[in-house]
Amino acid sequence: MRFFFTFAYQMQTTVLGFYVYQLTHKAEYIGYIGLAEVIPAVCVAMFGGYVADKYEKRKMLLWIFAGVFLSSLVMGAVTFSAFSQHITLGWILAVIYAMIFCNGVARAFYGPAVFIVYSNSIPKELYPIAATWSSSSWYMSAILGPLIGGFLYGFSDKIMPGLAGITANFVVIILFMLISLLVVASLRKYPATFIPKDNIWKSLAEGLRFVFKTKMMLYAISLDLFSVLFGGVVALLPIFALDILKVGSEGLGIMRMASSVGAGLTLIVMTRFSPMNKPWRNLLIVVAGFGVSIVGFGLSHIFWLSLLFLFLQGAFDSVSVIIRGTIMQLLTPDEMRGRVSSVNQMFISSSNEFGDFESGMAAKFLGTIPAVLFGGAMTLGVVTFTYFKTRKMLPLGLNDIHLPEKEEPISPPVA
């Protein structure tokens, strides 16, 4: 289920950005794609975990996958109808943004539901090997989806000049979405195991208070949020592919793949060399490396060098995810994991799409390359600010990270 769905979704995200820029040649329209998805994702995120706890998960996933399948079907139909030349550009864009908005709503419920199904499908003693298979399937689909989407787009356009590339992609996307929907239908039922007793607003407020009282967690979330918000370049890759590096849709697919390859290979290395010996120090280092790789990508006009910087961006980001995820696990008490997870998802999961919108707007007013350099510089500025605010946490080792009894700010161990 996860492989086919992620493959289709990554392919769709890649080619839609390219398609919209190919139609408009305006960076802000790429930014609107991220904005259309993030608005519902943030607004509905707080309800996702609540609904997933309260209702039967198989039926919930069927509704989610059916909704995403239908939205892809509608986008495929409207892009195909563009060949008739009886449909205006404004109408095409309006339908695409509306369907992306619907996908954002579905995404808010997808994560919590899949998490519960996953944890209830696998015996606890098999979690480590299952996590390896699950992560491998995700990265494989995140690598193959953009790569195949980009090459299929370019190949189809060469055979049938015009906009055949987007139509060919949507045929594959809809097919893979349908397969994932059929796999969901084959799952057993997962009934509600916990009925929340507290008012949802009170529950969310408790999670927010906990995060803001726990300094290391607050700074970890903030560091990731602002670095991705300013430093993300994914939304601008279609502009680099068409106008700067001039590598077409095939090159776009390779660029989208490079970051996932860097992340996947780094995660394999991290199984042998853990970054948790001094996690806070290492987190600042890798986020700084993320910012430097963004600046390097903005300055590069050589395709293979740009791929190297994207590879490094994915590598640094994956280490950041490992460290932040471990910090979240260690600092969150069992009775608050769901609420803290909702808060984390509301801020972190939305940073990519808000970052896409920020990148599009910055490219509109500053230009594409200055926008990338600005984002990298802002990321380095965020790291520098965080360093001076959290120097006392730099000596902490893994064993020093624990939740104090009264949730007091964490201080370094006394020599």
Model confidence at 415, pLDDT cuts 50, 70, 90, reads: very low
**Structure confidence at residue 402 (pLDDT):** 60
Q: Is the dihedral of CA 270, 274, 276, 279 positive or negative?
A: negative
Mean pLDDT of 76-98: 83
Distance in angstroms (rounded) separating the CA atoms of residues 89 and 238 = 19
Q: What is the total residue count of the chain?
A: 415
**Structure confidence at residue 410 (pLDDT):** 43
Q: Which of 149, 179, 201, 191 is nearest to 13 (CA)?
A: 149
Backbone angles phi, psi at 132, to 5 degrees: -65, -45
Mean pLDDT over all residues of the chain?
81
Distance in angstroms (rounded) separating the CA atoms of residues 20 and 33 = 9
pLDDT in tens, 223-238: 888 887 887 788 889 9
**Percentage of residues in the chain having pLDDT higher than 70:** 82
Model confidence at 132, pLDDT cuts 50, 70, 90, reads: low
**Structure confidence at residue 198 (pLDDT):** 60
**Does the pLDDT at position 349 exceed 50?**
yes
Mean pLDDT of 51-64: 81
**Structure confidence at residue 137 (pLDDT):** 78
Mean pLDDT of 3-20: 90
Collapsing DSSP to helix, strand or coil, 300 comes out as: coil
Collapsing DSSP to helix, strand or coil, 196 comes out as: coil
**Does the pLDDT at position 22 exceed 70?**
yes
Model confidence at 350, pLDDT cuts 50, 70, 90, reads: low
**Does the pLDDT at position 43 exceed 50?**
yes
**Does the pLDDT at position 353 exceed 80?**
no
The CATH number of the structural domain formed by 1-187 is 1.20.1250.20
Mean pLDDT of 60-79: 91
Model confidence at 408, pLDDT cuts 50, 70, 90, reads: very low
Q: Which of 190, 59, 49 is nearest to 120 (CA)?
A: 190
Among the residue ranges 197-201, 237-241, 261-265, the one predicted with the least confidence is: 197-201
Neighbours of 10 (CB within 10 A): 24
Distance in angstroms (rounded) separating the CA atoms of residues 153 and 173 = 12
**Does the pLDDT at position 85 exceed 70?**
no
Model confidence at 383, pLDDT cuts 50, 70, 90, reads: very high
CATH architecture of the domain formed by 200-409: Up-down Bundle (1.20)
Backbone angles phi, psi at 232, to 5 degrees: -65, 135
Model confidence at 83, pLDDT cuts 50, 70, 90, reads: low
Query: Which position has the higher pLDDT, 98 or 88?
Result: 98
Among the residue ranges 159-163, 310-314, 370-374, 385-389, the one predicted with the least confidence is: 159-163
**Does the pLDDT at position 44 exceed 50?**
yes
Distance in angstroms (rounded) separating the CA atoms of residues 228 and 222 = 10
CATH 1.20.1250.20 range(s) for the chain read 1-187, 200-409
pLDDT in tens, 291-337: 999 999 999 999 999 999 999 998 898 888 778 877 776 777 765 66
Model confidence at 89, pLDDT cuts 50, 70, 90, reads: confident
